[in-house]
Structure 1
Amino acid sequence: MKQLKGTLATMLDERKRLRSRSPLQLAIADRFSQLNVEQWRTVTAGQSLFYSTEYQRAFEQFRPANLEARYALISDGDTPLAAVCMQIARVDLTQVGNGKQKSAFQKLGSKVSQRVLVCGNLLVYGLHGVCFAPGADRELVWRAVTEVLYRVRRAEKLAGHTDMVLIKDLDDAAAAESRALEGLSYGSVPTEPNMVLTLDPAWRTHDDYLNSLTSKYRGDIKNRVFKKFNESGATIEAIADVASHAETLQRLYLDVHSNATLRPFTLPSAYWPGLASLGAGNVVIHVARQGDRVLGFIVSLKDGDTAFAYHIGFDREAANTGVPIYLRLLHASLAQAIAFGCRRVSFGRTALEPKARLGCTPEPLYVWARHRHPFLNQLLQPLLRFVENEEPPEFTPFKAAPSDAGAK
């Protein structure tokens, strides 16, 4: 009994410690310009483009209408330790189900709505919510992050309740570092994995990639993708003047986006030239053409050693005729990643099978979630454990390495 009391006291002390104010200093802003930009640069220098000052300023210009940005700097005295990127998303029933066929469920529209506070960036996959300065105590910073989220959520009561808080897209390492969030009533749930292709440093062209595949997979790509695509009279090209193509890109984006089961945001047409101007040569948009008709597009973005292949849009009517637009665009982005000199391509977490056939492997991602109402949060935690995600199929498209072959 004495030992039990000691254990209980230890647990209560730990809970009290976690729920006390952070010893670090917090600066929270509604607009990026309200923060100390030089301190932000100190933290984010040499890290992801999605943390950069340039991206934050651009986001405020081309953000989706239902997303609002919030920002924070976490410091120890005058020493910045972390930058925090947040978004408040207003979601309602018009964003659920097929966007082209209105159901009785959707007709309720904005009458059933929710405000969600997200630590991260809904526009891109991966952890882009917390950027740590080199040498920062990550466990201590994560505690400060939860205080930032608490303060922002409380302040948002003036604009309406923000019931749900999400910290999105943590990999295995970040999930382990932030484990203290369990003591603050956050629940962790795995999402669908990010499909990642590791690029061989020896590859200099797309042909090098093809030559690394077994004959079965190489022949399948050449015949089922490239041959069919070329026979349709379609071509692939990178566009230089994105602004003049913005409305076309938007139409193709909406053609795919409107069929998604869940649409937490809808990008505006200004997003495409805005994103392209951010990255200079590090953002390339490829389009598939059939004469003067644009059939589809994909965005390739270089972010350090990682290339993002995302924001794909295509003409569904043309795709239904048998033109492999989607698959050909994936290969265009893969070729661009090799040209960028990247070490990996992040293809995201949809269409798992065709990406697995490319040679991608799943990279686990997790989300921390918390509801403001204690009772509902207690219900949420066990429900999270029942969330099931699609398992990506396993393929072995690459030739065995010489050492592996010799060992057989």
Structure 2
Amino acid sequence: MDRQSAAILDSRCTYDDCLIMSCLKSLFRRADKAAPAFVISDHIADIKKELEQLNVQGAAELTYPYLAAMETSMPNVAFRYAVIYKNDRPVLFAYFQLFSLSAQNFDLDKNKSFVKGLFSFFLKLKKIKVLVSGNALRNETLCYCFKTTDLDNETACEAIASVAEKIAADEHATAIILKDVPQAAGIAGWLTGIGYQQPWKDHVMVMDIDPEWKTMADYVSALSRKYKTRANKILAAGSSIAIKELEEADILKHGKAINKLFRKVTDNQPFVLTRPGDNHFALLKNVYNERFEFLGFFRGNELVAFYSAFVTAEVYELYYAGFDYDHNNDYQLYFNILFSGLERAILLNKKQLKLGRTSFDAKASLGAKAVEMNYYIKTANIPAAVINWFTHYFSTMEDGRWKQRNPLK
């Protein structure tokens, strides 16, 4: 995140729960008979039929099994699903996640005692509710589908934003974050006009895979001398660790150890949005099969690290990981997780390795580059001083801790 780009969010905004109706009337003003209508549900099962009618492209992240698995395995997250109808026909589906934040989500120990006490008190007094379009745990995944004969990208985005306003007003949300929404030339200006801002720059790390690399040895050979020496030391440190791909039954078998390792990592993060439930990874494996991989790192019979990844036609996307800090230095577990993910991307002939938005320096050393992410934020029902603190908190989480590197020749 870029501190220099941080802006001050406007605390005077309010959510317009009538915007959805004015938006629909504008979008469908030529509708013949039935007035435009919408439905918002807490459970995907309620609108399964409409979802399946609209997801004609079969996007994996918009299938009923995937959304049902996410709803089941994320117990601390509330889901909201919306369908817009025209002449009694569904024309747009979108989903949202609603998070309730407290002091437990933040690492406040690094703040001055007065500041820590002040914001701990505020977070105990008032839970922060944040509404996010789509899946807050992943980037660049679809959260909508619509009939292109009735809507274009701009009108679809306006409809999604209008639904978000309605949900936020009903839930007394503190903030709306719009991400992974349809993009169009005029949409940024429209969103700004109703109170959305982009208060800081956010990035994810992405690595292009050279098509000439067929094995991990090819990647190591392509490194400059300094990084080649470093890579060989890391790989040698982890050479006694057995890396095994786990199936659904294996994930369930090692569930307790997986949760323990995952908690070790999240407990060291400055901010944790949510922790998935115990069955999260097993359910994803059940839904995705070979398109979701779960790799366990074993020291003898002991699971000491793991990572998970989504596999698409062109991309290998690292998801959640966990490792034992007590063994990290001896076996370079974290860096070997990154190397293993890269090796899987190479062996599966993928064009890109997606590495997420934490530990930028380590991923830059691998050869990844920062890619800017676009999203919009609107806040309400929160004091300006608290907004400014949150903006500063998030905008400095990664700022100044890493630099872009060029490890390849």
Same fold (TM over 0.5): yes
Residue correspondence of structure 1 range 312-331 to structure 2 within 5 A:
312-319=321-328, 321-331=329-339
SS where residue 238 of structure 2 aligns? Answer: helix
Deviations 1:63-100 (A, max 9, x none): 1x32111112345546655431201111111221179x
Contact 1:299–1:310 (CA under 8 A) maintained in structure 2:
yes
- Residues 77, 198 of structure 1: alpha-carbon distance in 2 compared, 3 angstrom cutoff: farther
Residue correspondence of structure 1 range 174-323 to structure 2 within 5 A:
177-223=187-233, 225-230=234-239, 233-240=240-247, 241-319=250-328, 321-323=329-331
Deviations 1:97-155 (A, max 9, x none): 179xx986658875441222111212223354344555741111111112111222233
Give the drift of 1:176. Answer: 7.0
Contact 2:297–2:305 (CA under 8 A) maintained in structure 1:
yes
CA distance in 2, matches of 1:139, 1:42: 18
Q: Is 2:124 the partner of 1:124?
A: no
Q: What is the identity, as a one-letter code, of the residue corresponding to 1:34?
A: D
CA distance in 1, matches of 2:275, 2:389: 31
- Residues 87, 351 of structure 1: alpha-carbon distance in 2 compared, 3 angstrom cutoff: same
Moved more, 252-261 or 238-247: 238-247
- Residues 313, 164 of structure 1: alpha-carbon distance in 2 compared, 3 angstrom cutoff: same
Q: What is the identity, as a one-letter code, of the residue corresponding to 1:188?
A: Q
Residue correspondence of structure 1 range 51-66 to structure 2 within 5 A:
51-63=62-74, 65-66=75-76
Identity level (%): 21
Q: What is the identity, as a one-letter code, of the residue corresponding to 1:20?
A: S
Deviations 1:336-385 (A, max 9, x none): 22333322111011111111111111110133111234x96899699969
Contact 2:20–2:166 (CA under 8 A) maintained in structure 1:
no
CA distance in 1, matches of 2:366, 2:251: 28
SS where residue 20 of structure 1 aligns? Answer: helix
- 2:43 — aligned with what? 31
- 1:356 — aligned with what? 364
SS where residue 97 of structure 1 aligns? Answer: coil
Moved more, 298-307 or 271-280: 298-307
CA distance in 2, matches of 1:330, 1:170: 29
Contact 1:357–1:397 (CA under 8 A) maintained in structure 2:
yes
CA RMSD of aligned residues (A): 3.4
Give the drift of 1:17. Answer: 10
Contact 1:300–1:336 (CA under 8 A) maintained in structure 2:
no
CA distance in 2, matches of 1:263, 1:358: 25
Deviations 1:191-221 (A, max 9, x none): 4311001122333332333333334322321
Structure with bigger RCO (C-alpha 8 Å, 6+ apart): 2
Q: What residue ranges of structure 2 are gaps of 5+ in the alignment?
A: 1-17, 29-35
SS where residue 362 of structure 1 aligns? Answer: strand
| TM-score relative to the length of structure 2 | 0.79
- Residues 228, 189 of structure 1: alpha-carbon distance in 2 compared, 3 angstrom cutoff: same
CA distance in 1, matches of 2:295, 2:184: 33
CA distance in 1, matches of 2:143, 2:385: 25
Kindly tell me the number of residue pairs found equivalent between the two proteins: 370
Q: What residue ranges of structure 1 are gaps of 5+ in the alignment?
A: 1-15, 400-408
Q: What is the identity, as a one-letter code, of the residue corresponding to 1:143?
A: E
Moved more, 70-79 or 284-293: 70-79
